[in-house]
Chains A and B, each alone.
Chain A
Amino acid sequence: MSEPLIVVDGIVKRYGAETVLDRVSLSVSPGQVMVVIGPSGSGKSTLLRCLARLEPIQRGRILIGGALSAEGTEEPDADRSGKATSGSSHDVGMVFQSYNLFPHLSVLDNVTLAPRRVLGMDRAEAEAMAIDLLKRVGLEDKRDVFPTRLSGGQQQRAAIARALAMKPRVMLFDEVTSALDPELVGEVLKTMRALAEQGMTMLVVTHEMGFARDVADEVIFMDKGVIVEHSSPDRIFDQPAEARTRAFLERLLEREGGKRRHA
């Protein structure tokens, strides 16, 4: 077993008096895909946002590739500024539910901006790489188009290319298909599937249970800020050990079934 690429060690995240993540721990090995499922408000998106350093944590620590990425501000020996992190700021790529492309920039400029400014690539080098990435996500003909001219699925694939351009060691996906029209979900999942096959380490929050079953190496079920169950996809979907997991999956299946009947 190789060294884990991501280590989340007992993190606590609070908003005021409300505890959103309560001593959450997990580790992900290089090349693994971990899918996080759970009801809304379970803290799964917050977990990703903490990993992406968008949210400070109060307790515990996060290591990426062995380097300290985030540390609880209330840890006794923590640097109070919360900035004593040795990991680089771009080793974690993130894709959001609402794409969050830069609307004033073309697809190509969306992808090249950060490599040029942060990695110091020159324009030619960055564009060559960006065009490669756009080919990988099937958008090579959209390089000069502005995001508003793209469908949701195309925007999301462009956002994936933009994140990959920083050569992250880990990719985080936060309900990336939830805002899409049903017929556009497939193309984004296909891109993610290909990425997983190429060995990218991924942490995926999703309600797409088919994707979870096929692509995930491990599945985590979260509820009310804690990890309730952590298992293989087959086990968690076929024989969930916990009653809460079972109840959640049954509700989800009912909804899916309902959708299908009405479709």
Chain B
Amino acid sequence: MIQAGPILSYAPDFLAGALLTVELGCVSAGLGVLLGLVLALTRRSSYRLLSWPTYAYIEFFRTTPPLVQIVWLYYGLPLLLGFDLGAFGAAAVALGLNIAAFLAEIFRAGIAGVDRTQWQAARVLGLGFVDTLRFVILPQAVRNVLPPIGTTIIYLIKDTALASAIGTPELLRVGQLVANETFRPAEALTVVAIAYFVLTYPVALGFSAVERRLSKARA
């Protein structure tokens, strides 16, 4: 029998967990987008000193499991460098570094999709590299790759659940604790699943809405 009663009294804990999930998602998404953008540019660079390390970085983070990256950063970094990020910090940084590798490839494709002549038009007008990127290239590049960016961000929000492995009291971790205390794992994890849906679906809707608005502006 499914019983909601014993679970409902843990509502504040679930809420706190959800809040931490959101924080984790925001911090790692912010880090991922910024770093991903930089990596997309260094990957495209004609200087091998920039493009090769970027290539290695991207392939390393794409081909190792994010769970391993989180655990490694949490347990390995203090041993190696004597530097402790804490559970939240380790999870946020690992997820950010991980997602940056995927976003870098998406941004790179987006930038490559903008016609070369747009760079030339900007250059002839005297716009510098940063202004050209910010006002001319990126708005077009991001528009081209908005759907894969949305998918990646949604993956990231769900992947924040991996932080439970190192004890970050985010949504899944709260669910596990509640399940242990109430001996009601089915109910607790159902709440967790619904909560993830409630968090990610608006993000999906948001990306669709932006995409629609941009395509209307273009027409």
- Using a CB–CB cutoff of 8 Å, the interface residues on chain A facing chain B are 52-54, 88-90, 92-94, 96, 98, 100-104, 113-114, 117-118, 146, 148-149, 162-163, 166
Contact = CB atoms under 8 A, between A and B. Distances in A.
Contacts of A162: 125
B194 to A, nearest CB: 38
14 contacts: A90-B124, A92-B124, A93-B124, A96-B121, A100-B117, A101-B121, A102-B121, A102-B140, A103-B218, A104-B217, A114-B125, A114-B126, A117-B131, A146-B217
Given A104-B140, A146-B218, A166 B126 contact: yes
B124 A117 contact: no
B118 interface: yes
Interface residues of B, number: 21
A104 B120 contact: no
What 6 A-B pairs have minimum CB-CB distances, sorted nearest first? A90-B126, A114-B125, A100-B121, A89-B126, A118-B126, A94-B124
Contact of A113 (B120, B125, B143): B125
B136 A102 contact: yes
Nearest to A149: B219
A174 B172 CA distance: 62
A48 B136 CA distance: 23
Interface in B105-123: 115, 117-118, 120-123
Residue with the highest number of chain B CB atoms closer than 10 Å, among A90, A96, A104: A104
Nearest to A165: B125
B139 interface: yes
B118 A54 contact: no
Given A104-B143, A114-B122, 6 more contacts: A96-B120, A102-B122, A104-B218, A114-B125, A148-B218, A162-B125
Nearest to B138: A104
Contacts of A149: 219
Contacts of A92: 124
B127 A113 contact: yes
Contacts of A54: 120, 123-124
Nearest to B120: A54
A47 to B, nearest CB: 15
B155 interface: no
Contacts of A146: 217-219
